[in-house]
């Protein structure tokens, strides 16, 4: 049995944001359960723990979830809120693991990685992932699939024991070829950055658009992630929970939440 743990479920600013006093951020200050660190996940395959993205909050996320061993990292794309935590694994590799950590990243991001992190060449083995290629770990299959975002971006289809989970934290709908691959998935983890007007319809989705996509894909269960709370139209977590309760099979992702992929 595999398990997916949500390390973070927030968009770029996180919730609360240091510069924001909207109702959603005020709620998160008062009630820690409504706080959101930047999006990412940990996939436990049985023998290994693999990270999906490395947010700027990675150290705190790993401590919170008591994750002491990391066996590899898959990056969805090269945006700061998804790669900035790579440096947090430097001393784990040098002092504990003592061998390079596999880093699967977009082919177009290899040059950017080398430019941004020249001092991490001893920490990571760089492996450009390939769309539609299966990467197998302890019987769990991870397949990068194209997403619609502003840079080369993948979502990941994760298959284990007949269960299919599709993780797309940053996308504006899905390309047809990807939609066909994830049709009928048991879980769709989906970009729901905006509540209200979608400021960037070519890169992200709103809450309603994410739910609509999940219905079109005939996903059995939909989990909303990469939530901003205060982009476009501010909303509190309690208000969003009340609204989502009217949509069967739809859940709001929370930091620390876990899903069994069996």
Cβ contact 39:53 at 8 Å:
yes
Give the E-state strand segments of 12-123 in sequence order: 40-44, 49-52, 72-74, 101-105
Neighbours of 212 (CB within 10 A): 14
Domain 2-261, CATH homologous superfamily name and number:
Ribonuclease Z/Hydroxyacylglutathione hydrolase-like (3.60.15.10)
What would the pLDDT profile of 20-66 be if each residue is shown by its tens digit? 999 999 999 999 899 999 999 999 999 999 999 999 999 999 999 99
Answer left, alpha or beta for residue 15, where phi above 0 means left and psi between -120 and 50 means alpha.
beta
> Confidence class of residue 232 from pLDDT cuts 50, 70 and 90?
confident
What would the pLDDT profile of 103-136 be if each residue is shown by its tens digit? 999 999 999 999 999 999 999 999 999 999 999 9
pTM (2 decimals)?
A: 0.97
Distance between CA atoms of 17 and 256, rounded to whole angstroms?
A: 19
Does residue 10 surpass a pLDDT of 80? yes
Does residue 95 surpass a pLDDT of 80? yes
């Amino acid at each position: 049995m595999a398990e997916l743990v949500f390390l973070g479920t927030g968009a770029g600013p996180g919730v609360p944001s240091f510069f924001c006093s909207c109702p959603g951020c005020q709620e998160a200050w008062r009630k820690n359960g409504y706080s959101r660190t930047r999006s990412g996940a940990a996939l436990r395959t049985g023998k290994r723990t693999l990270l999906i993205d490395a947010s700027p909050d990675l150290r705190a996320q790993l401590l919170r979830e008591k994750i002491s061993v990391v066996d590899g990292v898959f990056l969805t794309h090269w945006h700061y809120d998804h790669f900035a935590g790579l440096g947090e694994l430097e001393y784990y590799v040098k002092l504990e693991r003592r061998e390079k950590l596999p880093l699967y990243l977009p082919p177009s991001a290899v040059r950017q990685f080398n430019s941004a992190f020249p001092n991490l060449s001893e920490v990571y083995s760089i492996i450009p992932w390939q769309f539609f290629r299966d990467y197998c770990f302890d019987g769990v299959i991870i397949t990068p699939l194209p997403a619609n975002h502003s840079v080369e971006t993948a979502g990941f289809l994760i298959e284990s024991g007949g269960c299919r989970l599709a993780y797309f934290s940053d996308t504006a709908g899905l390309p047809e070829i990807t939609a066909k691959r994830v049709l009928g998935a048991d879980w769709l983890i989906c970009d729901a950055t905006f509540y209200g007007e979608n400021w960037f319809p070519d890169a992200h989705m709103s809450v309603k658009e994410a739910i609509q996509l999940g219905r079109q894909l005939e996903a059995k269960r939909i989990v909303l992630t990469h939530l901003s709370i205060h982009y476009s139209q501010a909303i509190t977590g309690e208000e969003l929970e009340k609204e989502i309760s009217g949509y069967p099979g739809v859940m709001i992702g929370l930091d620390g939440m876990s899903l069994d992929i069996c």
